[in-house]
Structure 1
Amino acid sequence: MPKAIERVALQAQALALRTALALPSPVRRAIAGPPIRIDGGELALDAQLLLKLQHLSGHRNLSAPTVELARAAMLQSTHLLPKAPVSGVSVGERRVPGATGELAARLYRPLQLTEPGELLVFYHGGGFVIGDLESHDDMCRFLAKHAGIRVLSVEYRLAPESRFPAAFDDALAAYRYAVDNAAALGSSPEAIAVGGDSAGGNLAAVVAYHAARSGLPKPSLQLLLYPAVDATKRRRSRELFGEGFLLTDRDMDWFMDHYAPDVGERGDDRLSVLLAEDLTGLSPAYVVTAGFDPLRDEGRAYAERLAEDGVPVIERCFDDLIHGFASLRRAGGRFGEAMFEIAGTLRAALALRVDQQR
């Protein structure tokens, strides 16, 4: 399809989506269909409508026949949501050292934040195969502004060009860089948190684990948004929500086959941190899951393991939402509400850490 026609089609899809999201609730319900109830939860109308429109547009999977097509589709999806820019945030392009070379990064700072403070090293989601700084730009801006912190978003190497453990190696190198250059980033070594969504949540969790075991300063907090933490086991939520709720069973296999094609490596604690023998002494964690997410049960299991091993944990399941909801903030409604709660909890957790140190 010529690029001009592609642009017109994309603009038409974006207009249809924005129009549908702005309709009165009864009309949106009529389009979305009867409420979906599974495992004691009811899917939010906003999420159900978005999924219905996605189905009608023909975009049903995060995976694709080729990696290039999947990456292009994710980039396109960022232009479909309503424009709701986050103002009051300064953004600076950076280059930070990875395990084998420089990585692109962005440093976000609320304009009113001029004194040194908390820094969140953020790793984007995308199954270790798709996603980049641009796909998670809105999320990082939002967290920076509404949590009142600096955010350093890091673009680690992707599979299949760079397979396991390349993403982990880059993530740990970026965290080490932040610790070593904390003052230049507007922070201090003891005030650096790690966070991410999905695959990025995995990287944040494994960085926190290996930092604690390698003698690096521990992160001040782990922000884990619907993290993937065990690549070896199919849990009940994957059976319940593996089709029709954005992230599919097929997608999960596709991502993992690209990132860690050697099944024997998937139990490695640089990937499946839930299987680590001892989680004692790790950084406090804020673990967020979604009720209609194939990853729900492993996120919950990780929060339980952390608590059992004495790690302070805030666990929050948004029972009516789907995987990836943090990237859907601009759709408004329930997605926006959830992100405001996450940012508020993150702000409070980091403020509590500061108070305890005084």
Structure 2
Amino acid sequence: MRLVFRLPETVKRRIAGPAVRLDGQTLALDAQLLAGMSRRSGVSLVVNDSPEESRAALESGRHALEGPRFEDVISEDLAIDTTGGDLHATLHTPSHLSTPAPLLVFLHGGGWVIGSRTSYDSLVSFLAHHAQVKIMSVEYRLAPEHPFPAALDDALAAFEHAHRQADALGADRARIAVGGDSAGAHLAAVLAQLAARREGPRPSHQFLFYPATDFTGRHPSRDLFGEGFLLTDREIDWFQDQYAQAADRSDPRLSPLLGEVDAPIAPAYIATGGFDPLRDEGERYAEKLRQAGTEVVLHREADLVHGYLSFFALSPRFRAAALEAAEAIRSRLHTDSGTKK
């Protein structure tokens, strides 16, 4: 796979075929190449409708996507005591980062069913290095063995632990943010809503990369991009069924787009992919926050697909999108402290 992405642009274009233009956007060549290769090889996120086989396939294939480790990022495993037992996480810290430092509680993607802190280790290391922040990557419980709201409970426990143990973690309590991608972004969005309405710590920021925000509605982007762009319409339904099961899908803890947004909810950076079936619900959520008076930056990678951060090591285009994400984190968490770096 890596060899294909290093080919000259003219050769890659011959392999990928004519440019794909849809909804006023042109799909990036490397995104088109990746989607086409995945389609032709039969690769999918859901394997035989089996959570176990889907997880195994993701873990076995992650090595093709991993980038080099950053030697300056030190990783430390953590165990967080919760009522449901130990919750595991990894703290990634750039070695020359002064303390107390900003900290991002990061929740991985994978439809609440697949993915792990191990499969995201390379990406999180990349973000920690380029954003120059501590990142706590959380191993929340997965569905269907642990359906809603288990993953959300774990996300809340990890965030509260980060605040409670900020001194031991070398973190600045005023700059503890939440974030994630896809299902992880969904959990971060819900966490920020809940924190705004209750006593206790609140995130300083929320970083939501191509979030799922609505379990009840069907938005136009699902019809436009639900086939042929890595994440399919059927897979979205399958993932939601595994996590929500018999729960009321209008519950704002499942559909934050339907929730009440109270000030002072954390300022939000929301990124979407132009060719992502979840694009419209993510952008509608940004508008909902904006109308409620929340500080929001909405950024669309118009030529990319769902999950683009995970492909940062494949090509310059994907890397540029990941660098944009890191800069969004860095600029907000450092500038707000008066320690712009």
TM-score bracket for the superposition, by shorter chain length:
over 0.9
Could you tell me which of 42, 61, 64 is aligned with 1:77?
61
Would the aligned equivalents of 1:106 and 1:133 in 2 still touch at CA under 8 Å? yes
* Partner residue, 1:223: 207
Q: Which residue of 2 aligns with 1:214?
A: 198
TM-fit CA distance, 1:77: 2.1
CA distance in 2, matches of 1:82, 1:269: 34
- 1:147-185 CA-to-partner distances (Å, cap 9, x unmatched) read 010000011110010111111111111111111111111
1:61-210 mapped onto 2 (5 Å cutoff): 61-81=45-65, 83-210=67-194
Deviation string 1:106-154 (CA, Å, 9 cap, x unpaired) is 0000011142110000101111100111111111101111001000001
% identical aligned pairs? 48
In the TM superposition, residue 239 of structure 1 has moved relative to its aligned partner by 0.7
Q: Secondary structure at the match of 1:214?
A: coil
SS of aligned partner of 1:268: coil
Pair 1:284-2:284 in alignment = no
Residue 265 of structure 1: SS of its match in structure 2?
coil
Greater helix share, structure number: 1
Q: Distance in 1 between matches of 2:45 and 2:186?
A: 21
* Unaligned runs of at least 5 residues, structure 1: 1-16
Q: Which moved more, 1:329-338 or 1:80-89?
A: 80-89
Residue 328 of structure 1: how far off its partner (Å): 0.7
Contact persistence 1:194–1:204 (CA under 8 A)? yes
Q: Once superposed, what is the RMSD of the aligned Cα atoms?
A: 1.5
Per-residue deviation, 1:52: 1.4
Alignment TM-score, normalising by the size of structure 1? 0.92
Match of 2:293 in 1: 310
Gaps of 5+ in 2: none
Judged with a 3 Å threshold, the aligned counterparts in structure 2 of structure 1 residues 240 and 151 are, in CA distance, closer, same or farther, namely same
SS of equivalent to 2:158: helix
Q: CA deviation at 1:63?
A: 4.8
The corresponding residue for 1:273 is 256
Q: Aligned AA for 1:23?
A: L
Structure 1 residues 242 and 98: alpha-carbon distance in aligned structure 2, compared to 1, 3 A threshold: farther
Structure 1 residues 277-309: Cα deviation after superposition (integer angstroms, max 9, x where no partner): 333320000000000001100110011011110
8 Å Cα contact 1:62-1:247 kept in structure 2: no
TM-score when scaled to structure 2? Answer: 0.96
CA separation in 1, counterparts of 2:162 and 2:213?
Answer: 23
- Comparing 272-281 with 301-310, greater Cα deviation is found at 272-281
2:308 maps to: 325
Alpha-carbon distance, 1:273 to partner: 1.0
- Distance between the aligned counterparts of 1:110 and 1:193, measured in 2? 17
> CA–CA distance in 2 between the matches of 1:65 and 1:314?
36
- Counterpart amino acid of 2:277? P
